[in-house]
Amino acid sequence: MTEDQEPEPARFNTIAMLGQAYSLLGFQIVEGVVGAGHPIKPSHSAVFAQIKPEGSRLTELAAGANITPQSMGEIVDELEALGYVTRRPDPKDRRAKLISLTVRGQAAVAASESTITGIEDDIVKILGTKGAAQLRAMLIKILLAPPTRDR
């Protein structure tokens, strides 16, 4: 197959390819972070990808990752045991807890950001500057589109 030929449509539909790209890129990010000395798992990205600098409530993290609070609690427990996050009382509601990054957690986020920059550079090498910009614009368009079905 040459560069300008489309793959077999039944085998490579758009949704499947987006899913495969998501998985591939996610694992590359984890590999980069692990390579920087942080023994994290792919599931940990559910926290690292969305935790706010001032801290986040467990329910917010769970909703953002589209998982149950119980599942998110298990991930946060693992990260707390590894020294990447800490729980502290929420100053706005002392009954609630905020999950915050530790210095070690901030270093893991910095390693992921560095890895992401490298992956984005690779995308530019593969697609060219114009192609990478077009890909980004198309993805933004998809993500900002109003729902057309029950999504």
What whole-number distance in Å separates Cα of residue 93 and Cα of residue 63? Answer: 19
| Mean pLDDT (the chain, rounded) | 91
Helix (H, G, I), strand (E, B) or coil at 99: strand
pLDDT (tens digit per residue) in 23-77: 999 999 999 999 999 999 999 999 999 999 999 999 999 999 999 999 999 999 9
Q: What structural domains and CATH numbers belong to the chain?
A: 14-143 (1.10.10.10)
Count of beta carbons in the 10 Å neighbourhood of residue 72: 22
Helix (H, G, I), strand (E, B) or coil at 50: coil
Q: Does 2 have pLDDT greater than 80?
A: no
Residue 119 in contact with residue 86, Cβ under 8 Å? no
Q: Does 8 have pLDDT greater than 80?
A: no
pTM above 0.85, yes or no: no
